[in-house]
Chain A
Amino acid sequence: MAVASLAHDAHGDADQLYIETRELRLQGFLLFLVSDCVLFSSFIFAYLYLRNSGQGWPPPGIHRLDVAFAAWNSVVLFGSGATMHYALENYKHGHWMRYMWFLLATIVLGAGFLGGQAYEYTHLIYGEHVTWSGSGIFGASFFTLTGMHGLHVFFGVCYLSVLVLQSAAGVYTRGKYFGITAGTLYWHFVDVIWVVLFSIFYLI
């Protein structure tokens, strides 16, 4: 049904209301991303300030985080950003099946990243005894920031799953697909935030 809808709408059947409101929706969504960026920035700068005001980092008794697994888990998430980009590109060019495969690959990679984060949390909590409330600034900062990011990834996976269902039901056409564009923007945003978190927790 969705394929038929794409073919039917090859020249775009976006109604007047959609055309008139699309730019506003886009601007509203970008403002939402900017506000989310401010939220993350406030926590990131608080972490950096506290890190540099203490005596040595990480605090005594806590090992530095292992970068090997984090690097692998990071490229899983960054890879999902690439697949999401190509999902949108394929949708724009009318390749519906390729769009669906790339979208499903994005969901799988996003879920894989969450699984990796759960594994790392388990290792830290039970192996290294680093906890949110019992390991001072380090534990509080790490679990708050990565947990908040993980929650964003989880919501992103849910959103993309809804996109799969909506696309299969033929909700989007070649002229009207703002939901897919918003999903791509959100997913790229989540990726970019992880670039910063990966750098400040594992690399510096």
Chain B
Amino acid sequence: MNIVLVERLGAIIAGIVVGVVAFYALYKDWQATGIENNVFKLMLFLLGIGAILALLAGLNVIGFAPPKGA
């Protein structure tokens, strides 16, 4: 199997898992108050965004991959 395909599949599967986990944790902590919890909420949101970006990159929707053999 092509190594690039393996990397993309890994990015897609792990991106979905991490994204779901991050947004679920954000949902669970939504009612929490205080500086600490609000910082955690912000960071979980950005973590979820990062997972979505990695997922889209894995799907070749964004980013750039050199053509095979380049």
Contacts and interface: CB of A to CB of B under 8 A. Distances in A.
A71 B50 CA distance: 10
A198 B58 CA distance: 13
A65 B57 CA distance: 12
Contact of B54 (A86, A184, A185, A198): A198
B54 A78 contact: yes
A71 B58 contact: yes
Interface residues of A, number: 36
A189 interface: yes
Interface of A is mostly: helix
B8 A68 contact: yes
B47 A81 contact: yes
A11 interface: no
Interface in B9-62: 10-11, 14-15, 17-18, 21-22, 25, 35-36, 39-40, 43-44, 46-47, 49-51, 53-55, 57-58, 62
Interface of B: 4, 7-8, 10-11, 14-15, 17-18, 21-22, 25, 35-36, 39-40, 43-44, 46-47, 49-51, 53-55, 57-58, 62-66, 70
